[in-house]
A = this chain, B = another copy of it.
Amino acid sequence: MYLARVYVTLKPTVNDPQGLTIKGALCNLGFTSVEDVRAGKYFELHLAETDFAKVEQQVTEMCCKLLANPVIENYRFEIEEVKV
């Protein structure tokens, strides 16, 4: 059994209105040292596989096909073996 942690972020050149709104809200709360906020997505996936290389290949495919939009988003992931 493997656990994959997937992080999806907007590419640096893409506008992030959600991040801007959060930044504004943090400033209103008194956190004036916040210079920039970028919002992204985080997924934890459990896979019933035994082969690390296969998991790596599958997660890459999942990111390209569903979890991230490769046109405007970057993704990275970590894979960890977990005991059942």
Q: Which residues of A contact B (CB under 8 A)?
A: 1, 7-9, 19, 22, 25-26, 29, 31, 33-49, 58, 61-62, 65-67
Instruction: State whether A34 and B45 are in contact (beta carbons under 8 Å apart), knowing that A65-B29, A66-B29 are contacts in the complex.
Output: yes
Asked if B37 and A43 sit within 8 Å, CB to CB, the answer is yes
Please give the count of copies of this chain that the complex contains: 2
Instruction: State whether A9 and B40 are in contact (beta carbons under 8 Å apart), knowing that A26-B62, A29-B66, A66-B25 are contacts in the complex.
Output: no
Instruction: State whether A67 and B8 are in contact (beta carbons under 8 Å apart), knowing that A38-B43, A39-B41, A42-B39 are contacts in the complex.
Output: no
Bound Cα distance from A38 to B61, whole angstroms: 18
Asked if A34 and B9 sit within 8 Å, CB to CB, the answer is no
Nearest chain B CB to A48's CB is how many angstroms away?
Answer: 5
